[in-house]
């Protein structure tokens, strides 16, 4: 099927068969952590964080693999599925620890009262957040990704200090509850955890990776509790290895067109442009496809996919 066999812009319905996705976009296919190649010094930073039971703060540009690090560590150390907290400017510490749907609970109580039934208990309206789930006691530590913490409200890093230092927190709604033991749903799971007297205390500090795009500074008390690592800008050899790994080439060299594209991409990064590795992967996939566009169309598409991320 040629490149122009999909959307043509003529408004006429047609049956088409889309090309299979590239390896890094296949559902249930090649996992990103298998193709991730740690840059120099990253394994030392990870091992220091693991040994000292401290969070790891990774700073770097978009698409440098910051969030993939914890996936690789969790697989290698058998820490289980990674818990993920994607931070925004509206994120708060309480929502990361435990969420209580008070409005739904009040509604359920009114319905129970109207029907003359037993009042709805609080269990069904509580759910541990990603950080709260990571702090549950267990035989092995959990892995938690706190993604893009530099996008948080200015107070959130300071709010985290006590929890990260002590590995414990209270659930206010359960501290005042008449029952000593309550089962609360956990994050990204249908399972529940047994909470005693509203207190959660970890047996082992979770392995926490926090990522930052370097868009803001953090307070010194927060930074001193972290192991910090800055992702280097990838050079041409590193990009060649990364692309080959994602394409599953098993040591085989890249095609000439792909190799030239990688070199040009590395030069642009060296000149200070903001580009992500997944942009390069998309472009390489395009130029190496058997039915890839040529000439002016190829140039337009590469310009479209390799736009500097610092612009609009």
pLDDT digits (tens, 9 = 90+) for 58-93: 998 877 889 889 999 999 999 999 999 999 999 999
| 266 half-sphere exposure, CB direction, 13 A CA radius | 17
- 86-130: per-residue pLDDT in tens? 999 999 999 999 998 878 778 777 877 677 777 667 778 889 999
Query: Global pTM?
Result: 0.82
Q: Which two tokens stand for residue 126?
A: 């509580």
Q: Residue 29 — pLDDT band, cuts 50, 70, 90?
A: low
Q: Would you kindly state where each structural domain of the chain is located, as residue ranges? A: 41-230, 234-305
Long-range contacts of 88-95 (CB under 8 A, 24+ apart): 88/151, 88/152, 89/151, 89/152, 89/153, 90/153, 91/152, 91/153, 91/156, 92/153, 92/156, 92/159, 93/131, 93/156, 93/159, 93/160, 93/163, 95/129
Q: With a cut of 70, say whether residue 265 has pLDDT above it.
A: yes
Per residue in 138-185, pLDDT tens?
889 999 999 999 999 999 999 999 999 999 999 988 888 888 888 899
Domain at 41-230, CATH from 3.40.30.10, 3.40.50.300, 2.40.340.10, 1.20.58.220: 3.40.50.300
Dig out the tokens for 128 from the structure.
């541990």
Evaluate whether 277 touches 239 at the Cβ level (below 8 Å). Answer: yes
């Amino acid at each position: 099927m040629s490149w122009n066999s999909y959307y043509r812009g003529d408004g006429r319905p047609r049956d088409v068969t889309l090309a299979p996705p590239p390896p890094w976009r296949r559902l249930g296919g090649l996992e990103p952590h298998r193709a991730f190649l740690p840059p120099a010094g990253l394994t030392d930073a990870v091992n220091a964080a693991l040994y000292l039971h401290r969070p790891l703060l990774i700073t770097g540009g978009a698409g440098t693999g910051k969030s993939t690090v914890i996936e690789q560590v969790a697989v290698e150390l058998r820490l289980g599925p990674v818990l993920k907290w994607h931070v925004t400017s509206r994120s708060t510490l309480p929502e990361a620890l435990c969420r209580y749907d008070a409005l739904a609970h009040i509604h359920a109580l009114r319905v129970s009262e109207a029907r003359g039934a037993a009042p709805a208990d609080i269990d069904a309206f509580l759910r541990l957040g990603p950080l709260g789930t990571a702090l549950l006691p267990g035989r092995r530590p959990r892995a938690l990704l706190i993604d893009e913490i530099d996008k948080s409200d200015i107070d959130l890093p300071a709010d985290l200090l006590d929890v990260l230092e002590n590995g414990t927190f209270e659930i206010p709604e359960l501290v005042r509850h008449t029952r000593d033991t309550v089962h609360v749903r956990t994050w990204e799971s249908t399972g529940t955890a047994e909470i005693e007297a509203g207190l959660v205390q970890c047996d082992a500090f979770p392995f926490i990776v926090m990522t930052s795009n370097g868009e803001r500074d953090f307070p010194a008390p927060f930074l001193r509790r972290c192991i910090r690592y800055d992702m280097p800008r990838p050079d041409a050899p590193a990009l060649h290895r990364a692309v080959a790994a994602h394409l599953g080439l098993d040591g085989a060299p890249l095609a000439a067109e792909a190799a030239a594209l990688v070199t040009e991409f590395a030069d642009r990064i060296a000149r200070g442009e903001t580009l992500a590795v997944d942009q390069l992967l998309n472009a390489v996939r395009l130029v190496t496809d058997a039915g890839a566009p040529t000439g002016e169309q190829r140039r337009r598409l590469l310009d479209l996919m390799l736009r500097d991320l610092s612009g609009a």
